[in-house]
């Protein structure tokens, strides 16, 4: 399981009750609070999974994070920020452990990935979680599609 603590800018990988890896992270350019919309620069908070793997990412290597999840979709639907069909698609994808629809007003394509080609510092992503390329290589050896990710 991967746990990311936004306030500490740290990532922890646990196997059972044992922490097997830790590393610092960079977040979205507006990191405070839970992601609500495309372009808000926030990194989501909640329970997700690795829903895709891209070894050829322009950010070295990338795991897709299953944002939005069913809880995000239900909340947005109640608040009339998401069409019923889009909410249903996200909820079903979540139940089947598939990649949710990433082209909704909630935003999507949130990744756990390596460094930017420009080697940016600080919180610079559009809402993703970035680590060093070396740390991403370690994560790629420890984690796989379906792995739980908790972002707090």
Average confidence (pLDDT) over 124-150: 97
Whether 44 contacts 127, CB under 8 Å: yes
Give the DSSP per-residue string, 36-64: -STTS-PPP-EEEEEEEEETT-TTSSEEE
**Fold of the CATH domain 2-151:** L,D-transpeptidase catalytic domain-like (2.40.440)
125: three-class secondary structure by DSSP: strand
What mean pLDDT, rounded, does the chain reach? Answer: 95
| pLDDT at residue 30 tops 90 | yes
pLDDT number for residue 116: 87
pLDDT digits (tens, 9 = 90+) for 71-107: 999 999 999 999 999 999 999 999 998 999 999 999 9
pLDDT number for residue 54: 96
**In the chain, where the domains are located:** 2-151
User: Is the torsion defined by CA of 114, 119, 120, 122 positive or negative?
Assistant: positive
pLDDT number for residue 120: 87
pLDDT number for residue 121: 87
Whether 127 contacts 43, CB under 8 Å: yes
Token digits for 88?
A: 């249903």
């Amino acid at each position: 399981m991967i746990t990311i603590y936004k306030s500490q800018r740290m990532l922890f990988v646990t196997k059972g009750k044992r922490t097997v890896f830790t590393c610092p992270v960079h977040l979205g350019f507006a990191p405070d609070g839970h992601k609500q919309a495309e372009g808000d620069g926030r990194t989501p908070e909640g329970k997700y999974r690795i829903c895709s793997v891209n070894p050829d990412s322009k950010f070295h290597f990338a795991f897709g994070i299953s944002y939005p999840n069913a809880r995000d979709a239900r909340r947005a639907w109640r608040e009339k920020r998401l069409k019923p069909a889009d909410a249903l698609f996200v909820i079903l994808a979540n139940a089947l452990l598939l990649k949710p629809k990433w082209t909704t007003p909630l935003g999507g394509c949130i990744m756990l990935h390596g460094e930017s080609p420009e080697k940016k510092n600080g919180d610079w992503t559009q809402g993703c979680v970035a680590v060093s390329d070396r740390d991403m290589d370690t994560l790629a050896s420890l984690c796989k599609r379906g792995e739980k990710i908790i972002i707090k």
